[in-house]
A and B are shown apart, each in its own frame.
Chain A
């Protein structure tokens, strides 16, 4: 559990850490768009270079980024298997009797894998360099224009920030209950299916009980302090755009444009 790094904030000191969360969120969206533009090998090479540079500028190690991608490996393997059975175009790569693996199946998977990896790298750049609280402030601000059409910006931000706040708590809680049950002889690795189900049950039930308990306590504590969702409220921390934030947006927009042009030319 301690090794679970996807979405974890890393408190380093880099220019990317200092940027305005709103700029970072918008830049991330722009880069995600450019990842979805099919611009061939050259396009993806450019994107990969830009994104890896960003990762290094943020003082994140490539090992950390690799770790956050690990949970996706399983999905990619699954995808590869599906593709092998479903895609029957391109050249035959390998043939076992009358079962053939086509080149497009492999290429399709690699294509998706590359895009997925780039996407995870970009989102990691955002979440690892932005405190969860700043992230929600940014989301709230960006959603504000949509308030007029009935999007409850503040409530959404509050829900996200509470959810983010409780992820580490729940992980800690899970760890603790796992240890407590391990002391009672639960073995999550070995054992028969029935024992495994029992082991998972012994983890899930206490976890839910305490999560609900926590939710109720938190709701009561918020109400006791006069929290009302619709109220206008001021903020301690004011977000401000600096020159570097404008530069980030200009650069990301430039990247989208460049990739789009490349896609049209090809």
Chain B
């Protein structure tokens, strides 16, 4: 029931002078019910990769398996709509997809397309709106009258209302204020833990990777450069330097202290642990 890429490649505008190979022979296995971060420099193919998950892009080569659905290059894919009801994809800047007169109608749009009755759809809509931290007073407002951050929440709620098993988010926190970003990430974590959803997040923020994700996939020039657990990933800072990734603050503090003579364990990733480790060592010396 997981997500499995098998030698997937993707070429934009194939067989034209504008041809561009964005993915090369991707082999990737994403575990069910985990929260996985996808990172990499801009243009490395993250958005291209995630659009394969609900068959918005079909592979030019190879095959992929998502839940029970199998998509093979050059074969006619069937049942895409069913796949899309199981995989909710939130695009970069999703606020541009709002279009109904009221937020209620916009939230009901997805569920209804997938065959929910009016009542069911409304129930799902109200629930989704609560999840993203907006109250029911918003339901009758026009989505176009909201602030940018509120629009983003409504757009994400529009996908949550479809109650997908797999939630894919392409830079969901870009352009949000720091507090809003933390709230969003906590929400995804909650969906992952409380509702057992598989979550994939494309992000540039290493703090988010460290604090919320279980696994991390690093992309580079259309290939998978690394795929490990988050803890493993931030252990070895020389590796991060090689990738030109600035580690999260806590990893940097630990690294600097170790360079100046401390011997802090490489697996402490929160403030409390780090502080007690430092205290222990200071006492030991004193």
Q: A residues touching B (Cβ–Cβ < 8 Å)?
A: 2, 10-12, 173, 176-177, 179-187, 195, 201-202, 205-206, 209-210
Interchain residue pairs A-B with the least CB separation, the first 6: A185-B113, A205-B99, A180-B97, A184-B110, A183-B89, A179-B56
Contact across chains for B13 and A185 when beta carbons are under 8 A apart: no
Query: For B89, what are the chain A residues with a Cβ–Cβ distance below 8 Å?
Result: 183
Closest to B53 in A: A183
Q: Is B98 an interface residue (CB 8 A)?
A: yes
Interface of B is mostly: mixed
Could you mark each residue 10-49 of chain B with 1 if its beta carbon is under 8 Å from any beta carbon of chain A, else 0?
0011001100000000000000000000000000000000
List, in ascending order, chain B residues with CB within 8 A of A179's CB: 51, 56, 91
Is B198 part of the contact surface with A, judged by Cβ < 8 Å? no
Closest CB in chain B relative to A79 CB, distance in Å: 30
Docked pose: A201 CA to B13 CA in angstroms: 27
- The tally of residues in B whose CB lies under 8 Å from a CB in A reads 27
| B79-109 to A contact mask, C-beta < 8 Å, 1/0 | 0010011001111001011110000000001
In the complex the two chains form, what is the Cα distance from A40 to B237 in whole Å? 78
Measured between beta carbons, the chain A residues less than 8 angstroms from B97 are: 177, 180-181, 184, 202, 206
Interface assignment of B158: CB less than 8 Å from any CB of chain A: yes
Query: Is B159 within 8 A of A184, CB to CB?
Result: yes
User: Whole-angstrom distance between the alpha carbons of A179 and B90 in the complex?
Assistant: 10
Name the distance in Å between B10's Cβ and chain A's nearest Cβ.
13
How far apart are the CA atoms of A205 and B13 in the complex, in Å?
27
Given that A11-B17, A183-B84 are known contacts, is A177 also in contact with B96, CB under 8 Å in the complex?
yes
Q: What's the least CB distance linking A59 to chain B, in Å? A: 10
Contact B99 A184 (CB under 8 A): no
Q: What are 15 A-B contacts with C-beta separation under 8 Å?
A: A177-B97, A180-B91, A183-B54, A183-B88, A183-B89, A184-B97, A184-B113, A185-B110, A185-B114, A185-B162, A202-B97, A202-B99, A206-B98, A206-B99, A209-B99
